[in-house]
Amino acid sequence: MNLSGLDPVVGVLLIPVCAAIVLALLPGYRLTARLNVVASLGSFLCAASLLVLPRPLPGPYILVDDLNIVFIVLNTFVGFTTSLFSASYIAHELETGKLTPTYLRFYHAMYQIMMFGMNLAFMSNNIGLMWVAVELATLTTVLMVGIYRSPAALEAAWKYFILGSVGIALALFGTILVYMAARPVVGEGQDGMIWTVLVARAAGFDAPLLNVAFVFLFLGYGTKVGLAPLHAWLPDAHAEGPTPISAVLSGLLLNVALYALLRFKMLLAANGDAMPPGVLMIVMGLASLLFAAFMLYRRRDIKRLFAYSSIEHMGIIVFAFGMGGPLANFAGLLHMVMHSLTKSAIFFAVGHITQVKGTQSLAKIRGITETHPVLGWGLVVGVAAIAGLPPLGIFMSEFLLVSSTFARAPWLALLLVFGILVAFGALMLRLTGIAFGRPRGSRQPVQASYVPMFAHLALVLIAGVYLPAPVVAWFQHVAKLLG
């Protein structure tokens, strides 16, 4: 194996594990918060180095290729910026007594275990190991959602755990069926679980069994993606957990399950007799978009509002990959990246807004651009971006997707545009009151780091105006791989 490529891979996986052990033992908030940031930065630098260093050859457990490196770099970058935001956010929770020093040690240790689980899921070349990694990431976020130990937080954590367990059980059954479909071709043993072996020989697999496997995998991992009607855990988890975890859930964890679905979609595409996986993805994607778009009008909690926005955008992304083809896949990849950056930036703003106002109720958060201009205008730009206004990045990805869909299926394009416009109306309606209404609540200054929020928003703006040629070529290559 190429050791020059292996070293960054080891860093991406080993740094979070070592940091979690140290963080679980160290007392004191300041030291653990800083170590959490340093560890997250180390993971990101190792991941970014994979873009320029030789990559390791695929092994039985670890794979780094053009597809997963997009997810790995994005995951570690948002993990790092969220750790910066978390440092100031959690300091306020400690000062107000919402969290104790013991829970803070647990929080920081679990943060790194969560990052390890997500990184391992992206790098897994073994579909069984990928399933274990997704489950590990899920369980750590369940524990973090319930960290406040309030009745509502514990209820949200249990709902997340139960529905997540049902989803992961369906995904496990689908994984077993894939192994059974592969066994007559690749034989008994580990080869039946190695993705690079499976995709190379998928043409000979039993197509009906592969079809059934994908349905279970789609329902199982689709629960983690937050697709309607499998989404019930997501709004509660966002509303009741710490806001940094809301940012991670929307910006990262949903992408982990999406990545698993894309791997299995490629497997079906390699079998000429299997059903087209895009049909199921198009239906569920559109259903999620339309459902979430209308539900945005009924939200009364600011974090639940943006939780349903995540359901909407994951529906758009799944629809894009379901449509397939170079342009739609390119739009899906770009939209995924833009959504992760934008939604996490929104939660960075929302986290500090709810702290300074002392509430998550939309009715009690008004005129934020007057009382806290930096936070308020940061939120305005974030909502404008997530609503799809030009010249921000999500406008570009939605424009490409709508153009591709109109050229191939005009009626689907009309439904897509309708859902996007309904959601746009809801977000603009809510933003008007939050940002520009008559000021309510506290005007006290907030102790916050604005760097993560504005770094994300700057990247989203740049992507909407100009994408560097190497990035375009990279995404085009990945789009072709996805079929």
pLDDT digits (tens, 9 = 90+) for 267-287: 998 888 888 888 999 999 999
State mean pLDDT over 190-197. Answer: 88
Using CA atoms, how far apart are residues 46 and 260, in angstroms rounded to an integer?
A: 22
**What's the rounded Cα separation, in Å, for the pair 386 and 371?**
23
Identity at 447, one-letter amino acid code = Q
Q: What is the per-residue pLDDT for 180? A: 92
| Local confidence band at 2 (pLDDT 50, 70, 90 cut-offs) | very low
Closest by CA to 106, choosing from 133, 140, 72, is 140
266 within 8 A of 483, measured Cβ to Cβ: yes
> Do the Cβ atoms of 255 and 75 come closer than 8 Å?
yes
Q: Which residue has the tokens 């000429």?
A: 272
Residue pair 423/298 in contact by the 8 Å Cβ criterion: no
Average pLDDT over residues 352-363: 86
Say if residues 250 and 343 touch (Cβ distance below 8 Å): yes
Helix or strand run (H / E) with residue 52: none
Give pLDDT tens digits for 296-319.
998 888 999 999 999 999 999 999
Query: What is the pLDDT of the chain when averaged over all its residues?
Result: 89
301: left (phi over 0), alpha (psi -120 to 50) or beta: beta
Task: Count helices and strands (H / E) in the chain.
Answer: 20, 0
The predicted model scores a pTM of 0.93
pLDDT given at position 459 = 94
The DSSP 8-state label assigned to residue 51 in this structure reads T
Average of pLDDT values for 168-191? 90
Of 230-239, 409-418, 442-451, 464-473, give the lowest mean pLDDT range. 442-451
